[in-house]
A = this chain, B = another copy of it.
């Protein structure tokens, strides 16, 4: 028995090395990411560039050797930015332009100038103390900073995230004209970061919401301590209904049965930068998993399916539509892993599953250690696979090094040159290795 177990483990470690070697030497993920980011660029749901990206994904899945490739219909919300600007009036009376981005899904000023005095709060607690008559007619500026103390920057993102999502709704309920938030950024530069917000169903008005960079935010806070500042916002963003769009799916058919292992990322991005780390990386890594299995001649027992989800950023319609279709078809899914934390060096695999399955997977840890992958403790495994988890599927997310992600996430800085070839491919190798283990032993 010991001998069998040893040779089993030995054979698995060779498979791990074959996967890693093939990717690090011949991997196509980096060149694919160059083509997606530089030929198509950013690709918000509902945009023309997103539709181009779906054709690109079909083509790349075919080149990777998928047995079947198709598009899955998904109705997506359409949000458009249009031109926008934010000025503040300093004590000299001169207007100064600030770098800004309207938050995704927010309504703008319809091209009209919206002017008002800025009032500053540090956080929700301070805001709650303000009576409505201090807020009415004002532009509320929330300067809640990204908490640098968290080692996993994803925790700091969650911690500060409520300001991006909900500040407009809080301020609108007290009669504010607009909100300005400090960007959810781990950097200290002046780059504004966008991202999804939402109005509450009972909001009587949908007030504009914009983000400014950390440097502008700090300067604004400082100035507001000694003088009154007026702002002038002009923007054209807003929701423009819905549109038929697509997730893109490609698979290699299982040799033993038709149960499915999903590996995926999201094909859409925000409408700034190039969507390189978020989430071009997850897309090209997932395609790389399929390419490598084909290239190595691996005969997968179960169907290995790449899903390039639509509309993660501002609606999650790709993930929810996929899970609904799985439920309708009563299609057995063994496992789903996504990559949506950037193309950085892998450190672990987060798992949403029951304790017994977690223990099974944790028992494989020593196979992953030579590849720098040691953390199998984290729980939350990503927005696109979460609807599958609600159907009982074990879900997982690649956990890359998190330090650089929120410097660039949802901003003009999320570009191809920020991605390192080897880090990107090592993440793909981790995904292929866990898929190999699930395919072999489940």
Q: How far is the CA of A293 from the CA of B283 in the complex (A)?
A: 44
Q: How far is the CA of A394 from the CA of B138 in the complex (A)?
A: 63
Residues of B within 8 A of A21 (CB): 149
In the assembled complex, how far is the CB of residue A213 from the closest CB belonging to chain B, in whole angstroms?
A: 15
The reply to whether the CB of A423 lies closer than 8 angstroms to some CB of chain B is yes
**Contact present for B148 and A422 (CB under 8 Å):** yes
Q: How far is the CA of A345 from the CA of B186 in the complex (A)?
A: 15
Q: How far is the CA of A151 from the CA of B345 in the complex (A)?
A: 11
Residues of B within 8 A of A127 (CB): none
Which residues 201-254 of A have a CB within 8 angstroms of B?
none
Q: A151-B426, A403-B345 are in contact. Are A188 and B421 (CB under 8 A)?
A: yes
Q: Counting chain B CB atoms within 10 Å of each CB, which of A186, A187, A371, A401 scores highest?
A: A401
In the assembled complex, how far is the CB of residue A311 from the closest CB belonging to chain B, in whole angstroms?
A: 30
Q: How far is the CA of A420 from the CA of B405 in the complex (A)?
A: 11
The reply to whether the CB of A370 lies closer than 8 angstroms to some CB of chain B is yes
**Contact present for A149 and B426 (CB under 8 Å):** no
In the assembled complex, how far is the CB of residue A286 from the closest CB belonging to chain B, in whole angstroms?
A: 20
Which residues 338-392 of A have a CB within 8 angstroms of B?
345, 347, 370-372, 374
**Contact present for A151 and B186 (CB under 8 Å):** no
Q: Counting chain B CB atoms within 10 Å of each CB, which of A20, A370, A404 scores highest?
A: A404
Q: Counting chain B CB atoms within 10 Å of each CB, which of A21, A345, A347, A423 scores highest?
A: A345
Residues of B within 8 A of A404 (CB): 420, 422-423
Q: For residue A153, which residue of chain B has the nearest CB?
A: B422
Q: A403-B345, A403-B420, A403-B422 are in contact. Are A374 and B374 (CB under 8 A)?
A: yes
Residue in B186, B345, B371 whose CB lies within 8 Å of A401: B345
**Contact present for B374 and A403 (CB under 8 Å):** no
Q: Please encode chain A, from 131 to 175, with 1 for each CB lying within 8 Å of some chain B CB and 0 for all others.
A: 000000000000000001101010000000000000000000000
Which residues 378-420 of A have a CB within 8 angstroms of B?
401, 403-404, 407, 420
Q: How far is the CA of A25 from the CA of B148 in the complex (A)?
A: 6
Residues of B within 8 A of A151 (CB): 20, 370-372, 426
Q: For residue A149, which residue of chain B has the nearest CB?
A: B21
Residues of B within 8 A of A426 (CB): 151, 403
The reply to whether the CB of A114 lies closer than 8 angstroms to some CB of chain B is no
Complex copy number for this chain: 2
The reply to whether the CB of A121 lies closer than 8 angstroms to some CB of chain B is no
Q: Please encode chain A, from 23 to 34, with 1 for each CB lying within 8 Å of some chain B CB and 0 for all others.
A: 011000000000
Q: How far is the CA of A24 from the CA of B148 in the complex (A)?
A: 6
Q: Counting chain B CB atoms within 10 Å of each CB, which of A186, A345, A371, A422 scores highest?
A: A422
Q: How far is the CA of A21 from the CA of B148 in the complex (A)?
A: 8
In the assembled complex, how far is the CB of residue A28 from the closest CB belonging to chain B, in whole angstroms?
A: 13
Q: Please encode chain A, from 246 to 290, with 1 for each CB lying within 8 Å of some chain B CB and 0 for all others.
A: 000000000000000000000000000000000000000000000
Q: A401-B345, A403-B345 are in contact. Are A149 and B25 (CB under 8 A)?
A: yes
Residues of B within 8 A of A401 (CB): 345, 372, 401
Q: List 24 A-B contacts (CB under 8 A).
A: A20-B149, A21-B149, A24-B149, A25-B148, A25-B149, A148-B422, A151-B370, A151-B371, A151-B372, A151-B426, A153-B422, A186-B422, A188-B421, A345-B401, A345-B403, A347-B372, A374-B374, A401-B401, A403-B420, A403-B422, A403-B423, A404-B420, A404-B422, A404-B423
- List the 5 closest pairs (A to B, CB-CB), nearest first: A24-B148, A403-B422, A403-B423, A374-B374, A21-B149
Spell out A's residues near B (CB within 8 Å).
20-21, 24-25, 148-149, 151, 153, 186-188, 345, 347, 370-372, 374, 401, 403-404, 407, 420-423, 426
Q: A151-B371, A188-B421 are known contacts; what are 11 more A-B pairs with Cβ within 8 Å?
A: A25-B149, A151-B372, A151-B426, A186-B422, A187-B421, A347-B372, A372-B401, A374-B374, A403-B422, A404-B422, A404-B423
